[in-house]
Chains A and B, each alone.
Chain A
Amino acid sequence: MISIEDVYFNHLDESKEILKGLNLQIKSAQRVVIIGASGSGKTTILRLIAGFIAPTKGLIKFDEVIIAKDAKSYLPPYKRGISMVFQDLALWPHMNVEENVAFGLKMKNIPKNQINEDVKRYLSMVDLQNYNYKRIENLSGGEQQRVALARALIVKPKIVLMDEPLSSLDEDLNKQLRRKIVSLQKKLGFSLLYVTHNKEEAKEIGERIIVMKDGVIREKVENVRL
């Protein structure tokens, strides 16, 4: 379980507080969606959990272990057991599809044949069989999105952070992929923290929906539709 307790955040060179005393718990295998306008602090929560930044004040716990507290981070991102899908997907343009997806496993020194098997399995899971050697720039937006998804899931993370990953897709593709994300989450059992500003997306994906405004949580809703 992830626990965020009384967290404040502001950038070093700016006085404006982006998060103001945030409290949030994410249980294992739960899908939590954060919704809010631009500048409300949604992405900052993801970056704090990922470990790219540390809270100015307050603490973050993973399974009751403090991993960041009062401007200090005790665990680097690669030791947190997380994965992330970025808004711009952040696929490495100098690597092909297979290299992108296999990167996380290579860094864990997994044997090559195991990596090949896993890459094949996860690419087929996102319907990208035979895309192994394609270059990223030659893929459509939807295909790139699925590569990012496979890259995030192949390392079997405990929690996946998603920062508006579908925002650049058209409505049909968006619907199709949000269903895919939910079905993969159910199948693989990871916790999902999903950031969006799209209410429809939030309702379809989230078991819990958190509404943010100006760095504070305005509302926590258990999604009754699910």
Chain B
Amino acid sequence: MSQKLFSWIVFTIIFFICVSPVAVMVIEAIGKEDILIQLLHSKESLDSFFNSLILSVFVSFMTTLIGTLVGLILGKTNISLKKAILFLMLIPLLLPPYILALGWVDMLGVVGFFSELLFGFLGVSLVLFTLYLPIPVLFVLFYLKHINPHLEEAAYIYCDKKYVLSRVTIPLILPSIILSFLLVFILSFGEYSVANVLRYSVFPLESFVQFSAFYNFDGAIMMAMPMLLIALFVLFIEQFYLEKRIFKYKSFDYIHIFKLENNQKIYIVAIMIFCAFFMVVVPFWGLFSKIGSVDIFLIAFVKCLDSLLHSLLFASVSATILTFFAFIAAYIVYSKVFLVSKLIDMSLIFLFIVPSTVLGIALILFWNRPWIDFVYTSVLIVFFGYFAKYLFLGSKLIQHRFTQMPYSMVEAAMIFGADWKKILKYIFLPASYKVLGVVFIVFYIFILRENTITMLVYPPGYETLPVYIVTQMANGKEEIIAALCIIMTLSALIPFLLAMMLFRKKERA
């Protein structure tokens, strides 16, 4: 089989499973504009749309600003405790978003001055800020590693470090800053579970409510359309503006570090640890204080055992299959096969930035029909949801690994007559073992924490732990919910920590 044919088969699979449901949803929406107009005429819907818009602009602006600063401090200075600070900041991203919100509610209660602040714009902003802060931090750290240190040293000959940062370092990583702004914008626009806990009206919740509370499928589809348009707009910017502006850098032996004085280092580390502690540890303290005793924890554990097992099973099986597909997709995109590579790349980015509510509704609409409803009635639909949403993440990580490999390795294999399959098997696969491990962990964590798509599409009897916690929020005891949140946190953190230790051990070896 030729590489071109293989690439088109892979694209067809991705298109059929993931893209066509969204396409069908758009087709279904045509001619029903009056429903959207009618829905948007209601003050609540319009308010929630503007709430979402202002919230996501504010959150993305703040996270990008502070995240860039934190990324520059962690990546470019000689402060200590960098890894500990980064790890603390990363924790919220590894968990279902509503856990932090629940933690704050448990910490501040539901009455009083601080609680009034929490249940509204400020509270939702704080939680979403904490949740998405690691995105610009990781983007900045990643791109800083790929800046040729000589570019900064060449500027340091003419100006001081502040100018080096503002004239050379920041302009070089600017496309990645813009990219992280867009990503945070789209993620916060599509996120509703935090707002749901903190009783703040946001637009994705409208679509979700139309579907799950009113069983108004047309309404849900039409409410998804504005979100889809925003996702398309972001895709357009990424593909036609940013992609050309991200300079292709190699990895370098060292990073140009700006050395700080000892007292500066102490102040900066103290401020960062205080902020990370306030944003991450305080809400968890709220959850712990609500649990009270070990008995409650054990009761919660017994109650959630089935859903926990579903979560672990879904996460491990899906992560394994997704890692395989991500490797294949990355190879096709990297190989730049005419048209199909671009189509796959664009499809994966688009599916990643489409809000989960929209994706969930699209999957139901597409797969809940005669002949193919075996998907809708089985866990396959849950898997398809994860496949659509997260394949992009793994594919991008693996593509990055491929671009680090000298192309002469491929050419050397070609001279000996290796075709594309053998090159994939003997050159790319062995060179990617480590990154495949990382990709598996990324998939595992993101699938484990996923709640929106699963909530919409899971078949009866297969609820996952994040979904179980959401259902408990309606009428469960507060202390049990708090205990469930801690179990969820541990089930995400333990494999993450184990993986980190394993990679570190291998690196040292």
Contacts and interface: CB of A to CB of B under 8 A. Distances in A.
Chain A partners chain B: yes
B157 A84 contact: yes
Nearest to A81: B157
B443 to A, nearest CB: 34
Interface stretch (A89-97, A112-120, A195-203): A89-97
Contacts of B157: 50, 77-78, 82-84, 104
Contact of A52 (B153, B163, B167): B153
Interface of A: 50, 52, 76-78, 82-84, 86-88, 90-94, 103-104, 107-108, 151, 155
A92 B155 contact: yes
Contact of B158 (A86, A90, A155): A155
B261 interface: no
Nearest to B152: A90
B299 interface: no
A155 B167 CA distance: 18
A88 B154 CA distance: 11
Nearest to A84: B157
A34 B171 CA distance: 35
Given A76-B160, A78-B160, A103-B167, A93 B247 contact: yes
Nearest to A163: B150
A90 B153 contact: yes
B153 A92 contact: no
B156 A92 contact: no
B172 A94 contact: yes
A76 B154 CA distance: 13
B148 interface: yes
B156 A88 contact: no
Nearest to A137: B247
B151 interface: yes
A192 to B, nearest CB: 15
A90 B172 contact: no
Given A92-B168, A94-B171, A94-B172, A104 B150 contact: no
Interface in B314-353: none
A87 B150 CA distance: 9
A14 B158 CA distance: 30
Contact of A86 (B154, B167, B171, B174): B154
A92 B154 contact: yes
13 contacts: A76-B156, A77-B156, A78-B156, A78-B157, A87-B150, A88-B150, A90-B151, A90-B154, A92-B151, A92-B171, A92-B172, A94-B174, A103-B158
A107 B247 CA distance: 24
A50 B171 contact: no
Contacts of B153: 50, 52, 77, 84, 86, 90
A198 to B, nearest CB: 20
B383 to A, nearest CB: 42
Nearest to A100: B154
B148 A90 contact: yes
Of A82, A107, A151, the most chain B CB neighbours within 10 A belong to A107
B160 to A, nearest CB: 6
A13 to B, nearest CB: 11
Contacts of A83: 157
A173 B171 CA distance: 32
Contacts of B117: none
Nearest to B163: A107
Contacts of B150: 86-88, 90
A137 to B, nearest CB: 9
B159 interface: yes
A52 B156 CA distance: 9
A78 B158 CA distance: 5
Nearest to B249: A93
B148 A107 contact: no
A104 B158 contact: yes
Interface in B131-160: 148, 150-151, 153-160
A151 B155 CA distance: 11
B192 to A, nearest CB: 38
A107 B159 CA distance: 6
Contacts of B156: 52, 76-78
A83 B167 CA distance: 18
A103 B153 CA distance: 13
Contacts of A76: 156, 160
A108 B157 CA distance: 11
A107 B167 CA distance: 10
Nearest to B160: A78
Contacts of A151: 154
A71 to B, nearest CB: 12
Given A78-B160, A86-B154, A94-B247, 6 more contacts: A50-B153, A52-B153, A84-B154, A88-B150, A107-B159, A108-B158
Contacts of A93: 151, 172, 247
Nearest to A83: B157
Contact of B155 (A50, A87, A103): A103
Of A52, A87, A94, the most chain B CB neighbours within 10 A belong to A94
Contacts of A84: 153-154, 157
A107 B157 CA distance: 10
A83 B159 CA distance: 12
A11 B67 CA distance: 31
Nearest to B256: A52
Interface in B153-196: 153-160, 163, 167-168, 171-172, 174
